[in-house]
Chains A and B, each alone.
Chain A
Amino acid sequence: MKDALGIRIQNLFKSFPKRDVIQGLNLNIEPGSFVSIVGPSGCGKSTLLRLIAGLESPTQGELQLSPQPPSSFSFVFQEPNLLAWRTVYENVALPFELSGALKLISEEDKHTRIMNSLKKVKLEEAVSLFPHELSGGMKMRVSLARALVSSPQLLLMDEPFAALDENTRFEMQNQLHQLWQEERMTILFVTHSLFESTYLAQRILMLKGEGAKLALDHKVDLPFERTEELRTSESLNRIVRLLSERLRE
């Protein structure tokens, strides 16, 4: 397992032609932590994630990943983003075909890593299926397996479970938390759901208002192991209430 990545953001600005989305954001993310980002629509959560992934360039400011590159990170989108004409196995293998750094890995090692990734998301039996033969939850698990296949030090997730039904979402949340406990990569998880963010994360960041102001930086004081009972516990609900109040202020 590679070292998890930390993120240091200093005085970050991002402007689009008609809007300043992020204005002077400062943030430190500890390596190996599970951090969720919440906030109203359009507050800059996804833009922040895209800036960290390098899909957008900052207008001004500094964004550092440590340890310094070569570092590996993966991105899980809101849609599974699977290629319809490729099997589950081939979709998970995609990073090996595209990324220059991953191409150097031997074929045998690639196969082992693909199968391990699929095992982690409990899809080793579905290798030869095509995306149209999978349920919504299975598609999202393939997307997660594809993100994990490169053993990322940082996992960026942009509302990955938003389109799933409640049962599947709970199942995926438990699976993700267990994966994080085993792998201890840094996870940055954007969500609209206050329950989801509280259940999953160690730390919750709330972005709000013009320019993605950091309205709240809350350390989640819940047992390390996430159990189903925790979902309805008073301790979790108390945090959700606090977040909800802050969001409405």
Chain B
Amino acid sequence: MKRYLPSFFSFLLLTVFMELLVRQGAVGESLFPAPSSVFKTLGELHGEFRQAFFETLLNVLAGLGLSVVFGSLIAFIFSLSDLLKKSILPFAIFFQTVPIIAIAPLLVIYFGFGSPTVIASSFIVSIFPIIANTLMGLESASASQKDLFRLYQASRFQTLVKLRFPQAYSHIYAGIKVSAGLSIIGAIAGEFVGGGGLGAMIDSARTQQRVDIVFGVLLLLSLMGLTFVATLALINKVILSRRPFASLPQE
């Protein structure tokens, strides 16, 4: 808990500083709302915020969940065949490099307005780090470890399950952590065009010049991201306390 104190205090300090800046008239409230008015708006519109928050959260969880399942599966399949990897990986890179906002209108045409478009957008943005990291992890076993498995005539499946997958753990975890953040970005971009959730709330606030609502949404999105990171760190800690997987990132 102690290690989170510096970030908590810096957030507090920044909030007070912004409040003073706005109250002293150094920054116009139409550009940057006072933190107190953001909290006030959050209180007044808590029903709308809550509904939008959970709608986005569900879409993000669905998008991220699909990314984890399909990303890992694709990486497993790629790891079994070099030819497959070379022929399909460029498409995965395409999804990573093309801005989601450019694909999002297409998603509305394919999936219609609402959740399916948002989930698809979140999925497309968050799948690549999982594929790339899992693939890198699956190929991270050392040559002598692979030799050891060859000596005992292990099947490809045994090598995958007993060596390559456990060896890939830290890479997979790192991939999911990156994707967790990206899945939120993808969902918000999807909601801009597909409607619903916090993304639509930002869009509607923009048309009304309500920066306090936009900042309220940003605060909630940060909270969502932090909750994801904290949950993942907790799950990682529990797993590591049981099995010390190789080359783990320290948190």
Among A74, A77, A95, which residue has its beta carbon within 8 angstroms of that of B144? A77
Whether B27 sits at the interface, judged by CB under 8 Å, is: no
**Complex: how many Å from CA A83 to CA B245?**
9
Write out the residue numbers on chain A whose beta carbons fall within 8 Å of the beta carbon of B145.
81, 83
Whether A123 sits at the interface, judged by CB under 8 Å, is: no
Write out the residue numbers on chain B whose beta carbons fall within 8 Å of the beta carbon of A222.
none
**Complex: how many Å from CA A94 to CA B163?**
11
| Interface size range on A against B | 20 to 34
A97-105, A173-181, A189-197, A213-221: which lies at the interface: A97-105
Q: Chain B: which residue is nearest A77 at the CB level?
A: B144
Whether B152 sits at the interface, judged by CB under 8 Å, is: yes
User: Are A55 and B147 within 8 A (Cβ)?
Assistant: yes
Please encode chain B, from 221 to 251, with 1 for each CB lying within 8 Å of some chain A CB and 0 for all others. Answer: 0000000000000000000000111100000
Write out the residue numbers on chain A whose beta carbons fall within 8 Å of the beta carbon of B163.
83
**Complex: how many Å from CA A74 to CA B148?**
9
Whether A79 sits at the interface, judged by CB under 8 Å, is: yes
**Complex: how many Å from CA A81 to CA B149?**
11
Write out the residue numbers on chain A whose beta carbons fall within 8 Å of the beta carbon of B244.
84-85, 130, 132
User: Are A85 and B245 within 8 A (Cβ)?
Assistant: yes
Among A84, A85, A98, A130, which residue has its beta carbon within 8 angstroms of that of B152? A98
**Complex: how many Å from CA A77 to CA B145?**
9
Among A50, A84, A98, which residue has its beta carbon within 8 angstroms of that of B153? A98
| Contact A81:B148 (CB < 8 A) given known A97-B162, A98-B153, A98-B154 | yes
Listed A/B pairs (15) with beta-carbon separation below 8 Å: A55-B147, A55-B150, A77-B147, A79-B142, A81-B144, A83-B162, A83-B166, A85-B166, A85-B246, A95-B152, A97-B158, A98-B149, A98-B153, A99-B152, A99-B153
Which residues of B approach A to under 8 Å, CB–CB? 142, 144-145, 147-154, 158, 162-163, 166, 169, 243-246
- Extra A-B contacts (5), CB below 8 Å, given A78-B144, A79-B142: A77-B147, A77-B148, A81-B148, A97-B162, A132-B244
